[in-house]
Amino acid sequence: MREVTLRIRHHDTPECGASARYPEVTLRSVSSMTGRGTERKRIIELRGPGDDIEGFLEAFREAESVVEAEPLSPLEGFHVYVALVVDAERWDSIAERLSDLGIHYRMGTTITAGIERWTLYLEPDDDLSAVIRALEAGGNDVELARNVPLSEIERPPQLELSRFLEDLTPRQREVLAVAIAMGYYEHGGDVGIETVADELELGTTTVWEHLSRAEAKVMAGVLDRLET
């Protein structure tokens, strides 16, 4: 298997358009897209100067495909979490294109200065040229930044530590990400399980179960690392 990094300028999309206008702001996907029907939800993180983040959000909201983009934390700091609601019928997603091609990719894509950075994992029989051509066929500019066998990559300690997160289900990752983004785990904070459940539009019992299971897996992973 090979690890491939692509830099993609995703033309005519609100995230890349706003990013190009505010190059000091970096967008990172925190959760996967969820929901049914035409409206889908996800959590994103924006990092950069406060004024630029505010301008980024204003530009982002101008897009017809963006239904809502509401901050979950104050705009005063250097980073903010945002609850994003989009019109799925108008939202053009690189993730969906890659999924349609049967390509594995890393979660947590970042966008800076109008460029999306995607890390793909290709099987020996995957045709990288065909993948690039398929992405370019959607009107995107694609640049190959990295293409190396996984066996030759030296993983930093923090990445090794994060591998146990792969044991979480997509729903557990989403609930945990939203809880963290909203300040559920902050000492002395006033965000309770009900607030997280309201944001996810789920029952409090359901959210509690997902968080409990996610926390158990994360703590088990941490314990394994501490004992090695």
171: CATH? 1.10.10
* Residues 141 and 172 placed together within one structural domain of the fold: no
Task: Give the domain-ending residue among 104, 121, 153.
Answer: 153
Where does the pLDDT of residue 127 fall: very low under 50, low under 70, confident under 90, or very high at 90 and above?
A: very high
* Greater model confidence, 25 or 183: 25
Task: Domain of residue 25: give its range.
Answer: 1-153
pLDDT at 94 over 70: yes
Give the mean pLDDT of 7-15: 86
Task: Please check whether residues 51 and 118 belong to one and the same domain.
Answer: yes
Identify the domain boundary among 153, 181, 197.
153
Report pLDDT digits (tens) over 152-166: 766 554 545 555 666
Predicted TM-score (pTM) of the model is: 0.67
Residues 116 and 177 in one domain: no
pLDDT digits (tens, 9 = 90+) for 189-213: 678 888 888 888 888 888 888 888 8
Tell me: do 142 and 161 sit in the same domain: no
> Do 179 and 219 reside in the same domain of the chain?
yes
Lowest mean pLDDT among 9-13, 56-60, 102-106: 9-13
176/218 same-domain check? yes
- pLDDT mean across residues, the chain: 83
Q: Do 89 and 167 lie in a common domain? A: no
Instruction: Give the per-residue pLDDT at 192.
Output: 85
The phi and psi torsions of 53 (rounded to 5 degrees) equal -65, -40
What string of H, E and C letters represents the secondary structure of the chain?
Answer: CEEEEEEEECCCCHHHHHHHHCCCCEEEECCCCECCCCEEEEEEEEECCHHHHHHHHHHHHCCCCEEEEEECCCCCCCEEEEEEEEECCCCCCHHHHHHHCCCEECCCCEEECCEEEEEEEECCCCCHHHHHHHHHCCCCEEEEEEEEEHHHCCCCHHHHHHHHHHHCCHHHHHHHHHHHHCCCCCCCCCCCHHHHHHHHCCCHHHHHHHHHHHHHHHHHHHHHHHCC
pLDDT of residue 139: 86
Same domain, 183 and 138: no
End position of a domain, from candidates 102, 120, 153? 153
Domains held by the chain: number: 2
42 and 77 inside one domain: yes
| Statement to judge: residues 148 and 180 lie in one domain | no
Do 149 and 38 reside in the same domain of the chain? yes
Same domain assignment for residues 114 and 194: no
